Amino acid sequence: MTTTDLSHTPLSQEESEEAQRYFSASQFQLIWWRFRKRRLAQTGALILLVLAFVGLFAEFFNPYGGTTRISDAILVSPQIPRFCNDAGCTLRPFVPGVVSKRNEETLRMETVMDPSVRRDIYFFVKGEPYKLLGFIEMDTHLFGLKEGAINLFGTDSMGRDLFSRLLLATRTSLSIGIVGVIIAFVLALIIGGIAGYFGGWTDYAIQRLTEIVRVVPVIPLYMGLAAAFPKEWSSTQVYFAMTLILALVGWPTLARRIRGKLLSLRGEDYVIAARLSGAGSSRIIGRHLLPAFMSYIIVDLVISFPYMLLSETALSFIGLGLRPPTVSWGVLLQDAQTVRAIEQAPWLFIPALFVVVAVLSFTVLGDGLRDAADPYQVSD
């Protein structure tokens, strides 16, 4: 972009300042400005922030713990808070009570809503003690009932509150995505960076290696690695192993893109100038090359999130991923594997909605960022 001396131009003061800012803006500022124009991407970002926030403080937003079984309340359908019933309206929201009855035909115990019972919702109630962020001891929950149980998203077949479990699962799933992407990124950066910078034989060997990892179908490969987890591993160990695997299988794509970008930047004037002036390899990579395509990397990171999320969900769904008591979206969806589940307890699919929304948000955010970072690049 050419810088312009605008001092003579009879543009209005405001306009010329705007233009002036435009021309002197850094790469990041430019991207930010263009990004601000993209509503859809912003919406995506907002949704993700909310999800992350709620997930991070899940214990506070939860009325119950993830494994707490609410007695009798098996497969309760979602209780929707309301302000009015036959007896009139109040400012305080409430949910209808739940009662267990024996079904006359099947003779099974069933839980049904009883609209005549009114259970008021209170805010900042004391409940199960927990450790916020793992170390702050608290027992205040955002909302809860004084009597009976509230199950906004219903309960599962073991009588656990789906809403509470879902918030905890959100944290697990998002954190696996984040940690996985970061590890994959570091691997990709090191490997792709080496390949892209040195070129030649090093590049060739690394290229072949990534090619081999890339031809093996991803999920079957994950499955093979996941099958190797010892049965006696704790759920935390599985969690970390799983993240690592996701990263291990995820790096080649990122590495390829980093390498491609580096190779094209390597020949640019300022890099050659830096090299001629005697700067060392690592210095050139760190000082000149990385900043130049930081924006592309961020875009790539955002774009690779959905793969991590979907892979985790798929793996846990088929029972090769995370194990109870850890909950993730995929683990929750294990309860929703059959058509019968759709018929009997459709609310068990609410976690799928979260998966879809999260992946969509990451996708539109990634697209928006990519367009903002490089409006003229169309493909790949």
Tokens of 18: 């705007």
Within 10 angstroms of residue 337's Cβ, the number of other Cβ atoms is 12
- Does position 210 bind other proteins by CB under 8 A? no
Instruction: Give the x-and-dash track for 287-326 against other proteins (CB under 8 A).
Output: -------------------x---x--xx--xxxx------
Select from 59-67, 170-178, 216-224, 284-292 the region that touches other proteins (CB under 8 A). Answer: 216-224
Closest distance of CB 293 from other proteins, Å: 20
Does position 223 interact with other proteins (CB under 8 A)? The reply is yes
| 380: contact with other proteins by CB under 8 A | yes
Q: Which region among 9-17, 89-97, 114-122, 199-207 touches other proteins (by CB under 8 A)?
A: 9-17
Please identify, using beta-carbon distances, which residue of 73 and 369 lies nearer to other proteins: 369
The residue among 161 and 371 lying less far from other proteins, judged by its C-beta, is 371
DSSP string, 184-229: HHHHHHHHHHHHHHH-HHHHHHHHHHHHHHHHS-HHHHHHHHHHTS
Tell me if 12 contacts other proteins by CB under 8 A.
no
**Judged by CB under 8 A, which stretch of 13-21, 103-111, 260-268, 285-293 contacts other proteins?**
13-21
Would you tell me the crossing angle of helices 350-373 and 162-198 to the nearest 10 degrees? 30
Q: Cβ distance 206 to 194 under 8 Å?
A: yes
Shortest reach from residue 19's CB to other proteins, in Å: 5
The token pair that represents 222 in the structure block? 């994950």
| Count of residues touching other proteins (by CB under 8 A) | 62
Contact set for other proteins, span 177-206 (CB under 8 A): none
3-class secondary structure for 116-167?
EEEEEEEEEEEEEEEEECCCEEEEEEEEEECCCCCCCCCECCCCEEHHHHHH
CA angle, corner 227, sides to 222 and 229, nearest 5?
Answer: 105
Q: Does 9 bind other proteins (CB under 8 A)?
A: yes
16 lies in the site for other proteins, by CB under 8 A: yes
The residue with tokens 């683990």 is 331
3-class secondary structure, 93: strand
How far is residue 43's CA from residue 357's CA, in Å, rounded to a whole number?
Answer: 11
Interaction site with other proteins (CB under 8 A): 1-6, 8-11, 15-16, 19, 23, 208, 211-221, 223-228, 230-231, 306, 310, 313-314, 317-320, 333, 336-339, 342-343, 349, 352, 355-357, 359-360, 363-364, 375, 378-380
